[in-house]
Amino acid sequence: MGDDKTNNLSHVIVRGGATGFAQKIQIGSHRLAADEPVESGGTDTGSSPYDLLLAALGSCTSMTISLYARRKHWPLEEVTVSLSHSKIYAVDCAECETREGKIDRIEREIQLSGLLTSEQRSKLMEIADKCPVHRTLTSEINIRTKEKAED
């Protein structure tokens, strides 16, 4: 509803040359690099796009869990989120709707440090799935692409 820019959290600009895979990423005042590993034809000058996606999910997961624990005044000391991405055959995924071809699988392992009760740990693990990036990745995503004229 309303202007498309209403819900923008940040503006990301990615620039790359016509040769190779190296990319310069600008997110507000922050600078990152993306590339592919040497074995994939890149120069390994930055994280791969899938690694950046995993970093977004992992950081959002950790932030969401930590925020919830702070609000509840629970003795959470640290959250460590380890992630990996792979492609699997859909028939090997019992909980997936897709039954043919390959699908993306993200494995997420969460370590909670602190003197938490088993009930608190259970609730924090449940809260992990409520992080905004997780919700985005598991919902329908609409990506609009248009060509921008050169400046």
Residue 83: strand pairing partners? 108
Q: Mean pLDDT across the chain, nearest whole number? A: 89
| 111-143 tens-digit pLDDT | 999 999 999 999 999 999 999 999 999 998 999
DSSP string, 86-151: EEEEGGG-TT-S--SSEEEEEEEEEEEEES--HHHHHHHHHHHTTSHHHHHHTS------------
Mean pLDDT of 17-43: 93
Q: For residue 32, give Cα distances in angstroms to 77, 80, 134, 143.
A: 28, 22, 22, 22
- Decide if pLDDT at 4 tops 50: no
pTM of the model: 0.84
For 48-141, the fitting CATH number among 3.30.70.100, 3.30.300.20, 3.10.20.740, 3.40.30.10 is 3.30.300.20
For the chain, domain boundaries: 11-47, 48-141
Percent share of the chain, pLDDT over 90: 69
Mean pLDDT, residues 3-29 taken together: 80
pLDDT at 92: 73
